[in-house]
Chains A and B, each alone.
Chain A
Amino acid sequence: MMRLRCSVFAVWILALASTPLWGDNYIVHLAITIAMYSTLAISWNFIGGFAGYPSFATSAFFGLGCYVGALTQRAGLPVSAAWLCATAGVGIFAGLFGLIILRLRGHYFAIASFGLVEVLRLVISSSDSLTGGGDGLNVPLFHGGPDFVARIFLAVMVGIMVIAFAVSILVDRSRLGFGLRCIEQNEDAADMVGIDTTRYKIVAFVLSAMFCGTVGGAYASWTGYIDPTDAFDAIMTIKTPVMCMLGGVGTVLGPVAGSASFLLLEEFFWSHFLAYNRAILGAVIVIIIFFLPGGLLGIADGKGPRASFRRSLGRWLKGGPVAVP
């Protein structure tokens, strides 16, 4: 099973990485976006999937990564060092913030994590002297033509995605992953069998933040310009968990499948139904999550989409809860 998942992932990575050979710049740009969102979704899965803590802090970590990357680069650090700073800085920030916020559970945690996005956006907007405030920041551009730069950033984003995926597999098979799944199912019982729940949750939160920071740093270098509304995007912070739900929460491959299918659907509806694309996309996602609580990967689990769909529909007609995994 694990070998199958890894081969599926490897084929997908090859498909993304080879886009410059067979696609135009639009396709390459799409591949970069998919790799970027896949990393965000894989990251979210550490805290939201394994540990079951519904985090909406993705944009906070991504945005902070953008600014740490941009500022360190402007201060004269080489690009790769700036990205490492973004990774480490965001990781440390998440650790400290996690100490406070991880005492909250369920909806309270979700609201507090969402609040973080807004607070950081406002703080960065109002710190004009350091961050340029609402005017944003220019980041040193890469030399070379658009094709060359796109290839560089495709390689970078796919590389980060592979690393995040590898870490996710390691966690899934380790004591850490086992402990996080126990926390997800019954935190008090997890405490009782000897799991240091606070420490485990903080580690998961830091893991969920680090790669968002790296991706943020890389994104800032890619676009060459960042501003607070772009970096701390409320839509991104909601898209990421939706992608995981679409693919299969708490599974290794789910976030990858979810982000890819989400973005491909988004592009498809965008190009075919310009006026109503958001409405159609929203409806399709609600239907999929409503009737396939295990996500798209739930189909591959052998029970079959039809059986799962029929069960959910039956429950819905009876007025009961639908999304029972």
Chain B
Amino acid sequence: MTAIIELNGVSKSFGGIRALRDVSFTIDQGEIVGLIGPNGAGKTTLVNVMTGVTGATAGQVIFCGANVTAQRPYQAARRGIARTFQVVQPFPRMTVLENVMAGALFGGADREVNVRRAADIAREQLEFTELAALADKPAGSLTIAGRKRLELAKSLAMQPKLLMLDEVNAGLNSTEIDRALALVRKISERGVTILLIEHLMKVILSLAQRVLVLHQGELVAQGDPVAMVNDRRVIEAYLGEKFARRYQEGATGA
């Protein structure tokens, strides 16, 4: 398997706060990788660095063999790096269809997409994400679950090679989560590499082939999802040392 994206010693400081410290990992073509860590661990900052929203203070981001550390967000989009936002970012007064068309028109490496072709691509993606019935509604009128789907459809219309899903399940109920899970699986089957940023262990355990654990800006562990969930360092990161000990004593005692 070949690496699609590779981070070498990436650090990011905001003034005195070191949001990322010397993070290095690779993601292979076609993988589904989970990224977990407690609030404030630097997960979103990591995605921001990978998409050029914020520059890295040190280190390199290599995408498909090219050094893209200094790229701007629109360049990342054209290279085939797409992301969804934790806080959804629609074009509120455009229709659902037009939102997805924006992804098809401007994202992705194919510069030949005209407005009519973009509408066709957008309709396909709406069909795929089961939003077709809402195509002519203004994006601002969708429910949260609908908006998350719209983010997905928009990212998919960009025909990405790497798709980063930032808490795509946050704020959804369990039926909606099941639908979202099925959708992510279908996207992966199309050959898209996926980085999944998640708090919900259910999602990580059922989708991710490998998990990266971020704690206070450092990559503290990576490996098999089940092993990671039971890893002492991971439990400590989430619960703190004292409760981690109690939790593990409880687990062995029972």
A193 to B101, CA, bound (A): 10
Q: Given A173-B115, A194-B108, A195-B106, are A189 and B90 also a contact pair (CB < 8 Å)?
A: yes
Across-interface contacts of A191 in B (CB, < 8 A) = 72-74, 77
Q: Given A190-B102, A193-B102, A194-B106, are A175 and B115 also a contact pair (CB < 8 Å)?
A: yes
Q: Could you give 19 example pairs across A and B, Cβ below 8 Å?
A: A174-B115, A175-B106, A175-B115, A178-B98, A178-B102, A179-B105, A179-B106, A185-B91, A188-B89, A192-B73, A192-B85, A193-B102, A194-B74, A194-B103, A194-B106, A194-B107, A194-B158, A196-B74, A197-B74
A110 to B115, CA, bound (A): 31
Q: Does A186 contact B (CB under 8 A)?
A: yes
| Distance (whole angstroms) from the CB of B5 to the closest CB of chain A | 17
Determine which residue in A175, A193, A196 has the highest number of CB atoms from chain B within 10 A of its CB, and name it.
A193
| Distance (whole angstroms) from the CB of A33 to the closest CB of chain B | 33
- Closest-by-CB residue of A relative to B80 is A194
Across-interface contacts of B51 in A (CB, < 8 A) = 192
Across-interface contacts of A195 in B (CB, < 8 A) = 74, 102, 106
**How many residue pairs between the two chains, A and B, have CB atoms under 8 Å in the bound complex?**
70
Across-interface contacts of A178 in B (CB, < 8 A) = 98, 101-102, 105, 115
| Distance (whole angstroms) from the CB of A179 to the closest CB of chain B | 6
Q: Chain A 181-214 against B: per-residue CB contact (8 Å), 1 yes, 0 no?
A: 1100110111111111100000000000000000
- Closest-by-CB residue of A relative to B79 is A194
Determine which residue in B74, B90, B103 has the highest number of CB atoms from chain A within 10 A of its CB, and name it.
B74
- Closest-by-CB residue of B relative to A195 is B106
Across-interface contacts of B154 in A (CB, < 8 A) = 193
Q: Which of A98-147 contact B (CB under 8 A)?
A: none
Across-interface contacts of A179 in B (CB, < 8 A) = 102, 105-106
Q: Does A325 contact B (CB under 8 A)?
A: yes
Q: Does B83 contact A (CB under 8 A)?
A: yes
Across-interface contacts of B77 in A (CB, < 8 A) = 191-194
| Distance (whole angstroms) from the CB of B195 to the closest CB of chain A | 15
A191 to B105, CA, bound (A): 13
| Distance (whole angstroms) from the CB of A185 to the closest CB of chain B | 4
Return the 8 tightest CB-CB contacts between A and B, nearest first: A194-B77, A194-B106, A194-B107, A189-B89, A185-B91, A191-B73, A195-B106, A194-B78
Contacts A193-B102, A194-B74, A194-B103 supplied; 19 other A-B pairs, CB < 8 Å:
A178-B101, A182-B91, A182-B102, A185-B94, A186-B89, A186-B92, A189-B91, A190-B102, A191-B72, A191-B77, A192-B73, A193-B103, A193-B106, A194-B78, A194-B107, A195-B74, A195-B102, A196-B72, A197-B74
Q: Does B93 contact A (CB under 8 A)?
A: yes
- Closest-by-CB residue of A relative to B78 is A194
Q: Does B206 contact A (CB under 8 A)?
A: no
In this complex, the interface size class of chain B, counting residues with CB under 8 Å from chain A, is 20 to 34
Q: Given A192-B73, A193-B106, are A186 and B91 also a contact pair (CB < 8 Å)?
A: yes
| Distance (whole angstroms) from the CB of B47 to the closest CB of chain A | 11
Across-interface contacts of B108 in A (CB, < 8 A) = 194
| Distance (whole angstroms) from the CB of B156 to the closest CB of chain A | 12
A179 to B91, CA, bound (A): 11
A325 to B94, CA, bound (A): 12
B115 and A192 form a contact (CB under 8 A): no
| Distance (whole angstroms) from the CB of A304 to the closest CB of chain B | 19
The number of chain A residues with a CB under 8 A from chain B is 20
Across-interface contacts of B158 in A (CB, < 8 A) = 193-194
- Closest-by-CB residue of B relative to A173 is B115
| Distance (whole angstroms) from the CB of B222 to the closest CB of chain A | 27
Across-interface contacts of A197 in B (CB, < 8 A) = 74
A182 to B102, CA, bound (A): 8
Q: Does B26 contact A (CB under 8 A)?
A: no
Q: Does B13 contact A (CB under 8 A)?
A: no
Q: Which of B99-157 contact A (CB under 8 A)?
A: 101-103, 105-108, 114-115, 154
Across-interface contacts of B74 in A (CB, < 8 A) = 191-197
Across-interface contacts of A188 in B (CB, < 8 A) = 73, 89
- Closest-by-CB residue of A relative to B107 is A194
A196 to B111, CA, bound (A): 13
A90 to B94, CA, bound (A): 33
| Distance (whole angstroms) from the CB of A74 to the closest CB of chain B | 45
Across-interface contacts of B85 in A (CB, < 8 A) = 189, 192
| Distance (whole angstroms) from the CB of A51 to the closest CB of chain B | 13
| Distance (whole angstroms) from the CB of A247 to the closest CB of chain B | 18
- Closest-by-CB residue of A relative to B83 is A192
A54 to B7, CA, bound (A): 41
A186 to B90, CA, bound (A): 7
A178 to B90, CA, bound (A): 14
A175 to B106, CA, bound (A): 8
A82 to B74, CA, bound (A): 39
Across-interface contacts of B72 in A (CB, < 8 A) = 191, 196
A196 to B106, CA, bound (A): 9
Determine which residue in B90, B91, B98, B108 has the highest number of CB atoms from chain A within 10 A of its CB, and name it.
B91
- Closest-by-CB residue of A relative to B104 is A193
Q: Given A193-B102, A194-B158, are A185 and B92 also a contact pair (CB < 8 Å)?
A: yes
| Distance (whole angstroms) from the CB of A164 to the closest CB of chain B | 22
Determine which residue in A174, A178, A186, A194 has the highest number of CB atoms from chain B within 10 A of its CB, and name it.
A194
